[in-house]
Structure 1
Amino acid sequence: MLTIRRNGTNSHAFPALFDDFFSRELFNWGNNNFSSTSTTVPSINVKETAENYEVEVAAPGLDKKDFNVTLDNNLLTISCAKSTSTEEKGEGDNYTRREFSYQSFQRSFELPKNVVDEDNINARYDNGILNLTIPKKDEAKQKAPKMIEIA
């Protein structure tokens, strides 16, 4: 057992380490990307340009078929569900091990009214990042300042 001397007294480090570890919530590591059900919610970046909105979802280890993206009125919803299972049998069928996992998340964002060109939204999944490009309608695009001639 590791003994630490503090102010001339002996103190055992392991009990404090175990007390600290077991007294805190398992997934409360100061990261806001964990939901109350201890499942990971991916980080999302949203960027607005003069031409469109760009959304990036960090979701490694998934396939593009796992995602569902919908736009209903002004509500953009990105959801994902993936389940996997494996089974191993040992020699002579003395043991069987089955493991399964299920991942899911859903994020929704309200877009400004009458701004989005719904027919030209583009989505692609590449290297663990889901990228959405949501173009703005022509009338909503930021235009260059118009010079007004003074008479």
Structure 2
Amino acid sequence: MSTLLYNARPTVAPTRAFNSMLSELLRDAQPATPQPSTSFVPAADIFETTQGFELHLALPGVAKDAVSIDFQDNQLVVAGSRPVPATEGEDAPKLRRVETRFGDFRRSFRLPETVNVKAITAEMADGLLRVTLPFDTEKVTKQHIEVR
């Protein structure tokens, strides 16, 4: 007579084994000595309000004096640098995994004619660069002309 074994949860054990194997495989695929990047592109959000536009750039770890903002040929150019943390020396930490970006960055945005370039302001707080681009109230972009 043969004995029949019944497993009430047949999918649990193979799934755990596969997940464990996959985790080991991915962990071993990571380089032992990761290298930080030399450049990156910061994420940007653009909002439109009744007063104008707001440009928000995510710049965690970037000092205020490491950012430059220029306007030329209807383009706003934001550039700067985020230094790589020191890893040399006896007490310096070793980089094991690097998910953030370091190095130089540069973003350019074409501005519409309705922006008052002379009134642009920028402030940096908590790793967020906020550039305010007010509308030029002197310029007329839409006008209805009545026929007489």
Shorter-chain TM-score range: 0.5 to 0.7
Match of 1:31 in 2: none
List per-residue Cα deviations over 1:28-83 (Å, max 9, x = no partner).
xxxxxxxxx79653321111223221111121222111111111121111122132
Match of 2:17 in 1: 12
If asked which structure has higher relative contact order (CA below 8 Å, sep 6+), I would say: 2
- 1:64 and 1:54, CA in 2 relative to 1: closer, same or farther beyond 3 A? same
- 1:12 and 1:69, CA in 2 relative to 1: closer, same or farther beyond 3 A? same
| Aligned-pair CA distance for 1:125 | 0.7
| Percent of residue pairs bearing the same amino acid type | 23
Looking at structure 1, the residues matched to 29 and 87 of structure 2 have their Cα atoms a distance apart, in angstroms, of 33
**What is the SS of the residue equivalent to 2:25?**
helix
Match of 1:48 in 2: 48
The answer (yes or no) to whether the contact 2:62–2:81 under 8 Å persists in 1 is: no
User: RMSD of the alignment, in Å?
Assistant: 4.0
- 1:52 and 1:142, CA in 2 relative to 1: closer, same or farther beyond 3 A? farther
Looking at structure 1, the residues matched to 49 and 15 of structure 2 have their Cα atoms a distance apart, in angstroms, of 61
Runs of 4+ in 1 over 4 A off after TM superposition: 7-11, 20-24, 37-40, 97-102, 140-143
Greater strand proportion: 1
The aligned amino acid for 1:76 is L
Looking at structure 2, the residues matched to 122 and 106 of structure 1 have their Cα atoms a distance apart, in angstroms, of 18
Structure 2: tracts of 5 or more residues without a match: 1-9, 31-36, 96-100
Structure 1: tracts of 5 or more residues without a match: 25-36, 91-96, 147-151
| Aligned-pair CA distance for 1:99 | 7.4
The answer (yes or no) to whether the contact 2:56–2:128 under 8 Å persists in 1 is: yes
The aligned amino acid for 1:18 is E
Looking at structure 2, the residues matched to 44 and 120 of structure 1 have their Cα atoms a distance apart, in angstroms, of 21
